[in-house]
Amino acid sequence: MRTAVGILIVLVVVAGGATAASFVYGPYSGAPTQTSVSISWLSSDPVPARIDYGVRTDYETTGRFAHSVSVALEQEPSNTPQHVTVTSLAPDSEYTYQVVLETANGEVVSAQGSFVTAPPIGESICFIVLADTQWQWEGENRLAAVGDAIAADPMPFDFILHAGDLVESPTSGMWNHWFDSFAPALLRAPFLPVLGNHERNLRSYYDNFVLPPGDGKSDERWWAFHWGDLVVVGLDTNVTRAPDYIAQQNWARTHLSGPEQHKIVMFHHPVYSSDAFHGSGYSYDVIYHPIFVETGVDLVLNGHAHNYERLQVDGVTYLVVGGGGAVPRDLADTHVEGSILAIEGYNFYVRVTTSLEGIAAEVVSVAQATDETFELTDGHLLDSFLLPL
């Protein structure tokens, strides 16, 4: 259920027959703009709730949230997350928030999360990128190791991008494990994914996330995120129908032809890759690459191949970032044309900063890993580079 609310101070009155409830997962945030954000959570039972929020500096000064919004008991309870859009926020501001479940046994208060609203043109922007988190059947929780590393990253960041294959299979048990593993990271900033092949375009993906304005299924199968002088276009490379490819070509061309200084595209399958198993060959060099050259795209983010690679083709930089927790896979002995650096055997994430100087990226190691072994690193960088303006 998705509800739009403004800034109102409203108290929630607990109905006499309300059941006890707890958080299954959340809260977490998505689809931020200059003046709004979506807050989401899943509770074990349907109960009324309240979102408390305020500008971080005000909260730190007073110890109180300046605003609250009530969330009524759903008329038709479901086992899907609640999504509430909080509006009338101040631009270029950092907020803190919490969700309070109003249960028969009293209030259940969530951990506190944070988000920022969109900055003005010219302001530096930092964000996190990862892909291919999926599932580990036994041993250490690799997803949690990556999530905890992101949560502890010393840089403030505005949002988290995920290039697909969040879960091995989009079942409730695997989603629960995924949200539990990434809970601390999700409290730091809004989360913006695209579909991987493992999500299978099923309803549970759309039920769990609120994404920027888009098109296709639920108007969220592909989307565009405009943030200061950055635009990120998220596409779905799992489509099989020609009309869907044509629609995404037109969507990408439209949103990449705007005034933004920095242009980034994200989708799951790699345009170019030296992966020993997947490699290139998906025809995206024909379907999308000419559009990226035409519109001056700076950076394309892909997953699917469980390794790291940086490539440059016709002035467009491609990053394969499939190190979010899935078992790393081998690279081929011969790398494809345009490959600058390729690294196997690591779980990692990428920290990206846009500024008046260009786009800087740092690839942060989390662990060296194989099918059988997993050893945390000291967080050293696997790669760093600057794409100057």
Q: Tens digit of pLDDT for each residue in 301-334? A: 999 999 999 999 999 999 999 999 999 999 999 9
| pLDDT (average), residues 375-386 | 98
Share of residues in the chain with pLDDT > 70 (%) = 94
Whether pLDDT at 15 is above 50: no
Q: How far apart are CA 70 and CA 12, in angstroms?
A: 6
Neighbours of 121 (CB within 10 A): 10
Residue 3 has pLDDT above 90, yes or no: no
Under CATH, which number does the domain 2-116 receive? 2.60.40.10
What's the pLDDT score for residue 77?
A: 65
Pairing outcome for strands 82-86 and 37-43: antiparallel
Q: Which of 81-95, 114-128, 273-287 has the lowest mean pLDDT?
A: 273-287
The CA-based diameter of the chain, rounded to the nearest angstrom, is 68
Distance CA 14, CA 48 (A): 7
Which alpha helices (DSSP H) does the chain contain, by range? 56-62, 142-151, 172-186, 203-208, 242-255, 284-287, 289-295
pLDDT at residue 176 in the model: 96
Rounded CA-CA distance 178/184 in Å is 12
**Which residues of the chain does CATH 2.60.40.10 include?**
2-116
Residues of the chain with CATH 3.60.21.10: 125-388
Rg (alpha carbons) of the chain, rounded to whole number: 21
- For residues 80 and 95, is the Cβ–Cβ distance under 8 A? no
Torsion, CA 210, CA 215, CA 218, CA 220, rounded to 10: -30
Which pLDDT belongs to residue 123?
Answer: 97
Q: What is the pLDDT of residue 13?
A: 35
- Give the per-residue pLDDT at 239: 96
Q: Per-residue pLDDT tens for 106-115?
A: 999 999 999 9
Q: Which residue has the tokens 């091995």?
A: 168
pLDDT band for 76, please (50, 70, 90 cuts).
low
In the predicted structure, residue 2 carries a pLDDT above the cut 50 = no
CATH match for 125-388 among 1.25.60.10, 2.40.30.40, 3.60.21.10, 3.30.565.10? 3.60.21.10
* Whether pLDDT at 238 is above 90: yes
Q: Given this model, what pLDDT does residue 79 score?
A: 86
Contact predicate 347/323, CB 8 Å: yes
Mean pLDDT, rounded, of the chain: 93
Helix (H, G, I), strand (E, B) or coil at 53: strand
Does pLDDT of 11 surpass 60?
no
Nearest to 84 by CA among 35, 28, 160, 44: 28
Q: Say how far apart CA 29 and CA 24 lie, in whole Å.
A: 15
